[in-house]
Amino acid sequence: MPADRLFGPTFTTAAMAAIVSDAAWLRAMLDFEAALARAEARVGMIPPAAAQAIADACATPDLDIEAIGRQAAASGTPVVPLLEALRARLPAGAAAHLHRGATSQDVLDTAMMLLARDGLELLAAELAAVAAATAALVRLAQNEVGEATEPGGEGRGVSSAMPHKRNPAASVAALACARGVQAQAGILLGAMVQAHERAAGEWQSEWPAVSEALRLSAGAVGRMRAVMEGLEVHPERMRSNLEAAGERLSGEAARAMAQRAAEALIAGTLAAYESRRRG
């Protein structure tokens, strides 16, 4: 997964990287255990003092996440070593009530949805619009077309072999992110197969796939937002391309054609967004 220091910054944003980080997963799991204890205390399942002790232990930020990750390999889930670490911090009377009636899947599925909620709030409705704009911009920015370029600046779009060339690097990265999201969708579709009684790898495959889909989606949105906010349009090159194609349009006709194209693009992206929102 492109979550490392070398490739990670190219394919996501700092905000989304934080939302789906290991620390965020751990925090969501701890929030689950604290909320479960408080809810069970309200209905009389566990003593209120035990619930408070559990909530206090879950609020402690200094759990060893690396140790929990290493120990998770034995049980196949980080919930088991997390519970062991929490019980070591609790008085005996409270430790017996931790995680009462819950399963590892309850913890991880809830944590995954908490992260997904935060990630989707970050993405909001931007994704459909920028996806459509990306493909169009890549075509416009090709050297043989040259009608639009990404925002300039030191180091942006430079080529290691051709100093004169300016590549649409952010748009290309956004498209790479989109293809990465498609790959994660395949994993999640495969995880829909229902195993006998309990998941035998399907459920577990969702954990990194959901994080990676959110991470890459944010990368696509973030790169294209920056491009659209600073897009450089070259009308003289547009005119030259039209003349080369023998298309000599009047100013009024050109404006009308551009307006129709813009309206079609907006309608298409809004329809795509509404379809995704309903589906």
Enter the pTM of the model: 0.67
CATH of 14-112, one of 1.10.10.10, 1.20.58.1030, 3.50.50.60, 1.10.275.10: 1.10.275.10
**Domain range list for the chain:** 14-112, 124-236, 249-279
14-112 against 124-236: fold identical: no
- The per-residue pLDDT for range 169-219, each reduced to its tens digit, is 888 888 888 899 888 988 888 888 777 666 677 878 888 899 999 999 999
Tens digit of pLDDT for each residue in 98-153?
999 999 999 999 999 999 999 988 887 566 766 666 666 666 666 566 777 777 66
Q: Which fold has domain 124-236?
A: Fumarase C; Chain A, domain 2 (1.20.200)
Beta carbons within 10 angstroms of residue 155's beta carbon: 6
